[in-house]
Structure 1
Amino acid sequence: MKSVFVPLLSLVVVLVLTVAAIEPPKALTCEQTKSLVTPCLDFLTSKTNTPSTPCCEGFNEVIFSAPTKEEKRATCNCLKEAASHIPNLDNDKANKLPKVCNFDLDNLISKDFDCEKIINNKP
């Protein structure tokens, strides 16, 4: 019996660890979201011509931390609200940010973006 129990227990442990490892990411708070895109401010206010690596990495983390439609809308609303407080926000650069960072999605950092338009296949 012991010879069957140890391998079975080992298999259960491996399965539990595997499931835990592939658990979807937890949604970020609005404050965490804003913190991750803060490195983009120089690009979004035309102080630089290209976004920094930390900007694109933070933007990437924001995108992948909002897998559901509701989380995407919440992230969008958070960024939209934050954008309304950025003096000299360049909407053209905000519209270009996803493409410049190599993401296929609609602009989420515009004051004018309609977060209700978010659909399942685009954040």
Structure 2
Amino acid sequence: MPDPVIGRLLLITGASAAGKTTVGHEVASLLSRAVHIDGDAMQRFVVSGAVPMDVPPPPGAVEQLTLRYAAAMTVSSLYRRAGFDAVITDNVFEAETAAEIVDRLDETAVTQRELLVRVNAPERTTS
């Protein structure tokens, strides 16, 4: 029996309000079989006790951010095993963190087929 087709992972990251969610949704809609997993939606699962990220991070913020990334990767793994491409959009605060998120694929035992895209905020022009 042939191995099942594992979906691809696309991680779209960038600054706040750079258009990640819009781009991620559009990319997923252009693929033949895809899901869009929004990091902000993962954060909204925390109903009470949420600690928003700030600089410097307040106590508990990094732990909750790590949970948010892990939740997105777990959801993507389930869909990718079923043959869906997974498009994750989220804030990634440091370059090393993006690599760590993708490395979580090893923990979920899904063949690595990923692409990292960084969305930069558009330049603001004045008239």
TM-score (norm 1): 0.32
Structure showing greater Rg: 1
TM-score (norm 2): 0.31
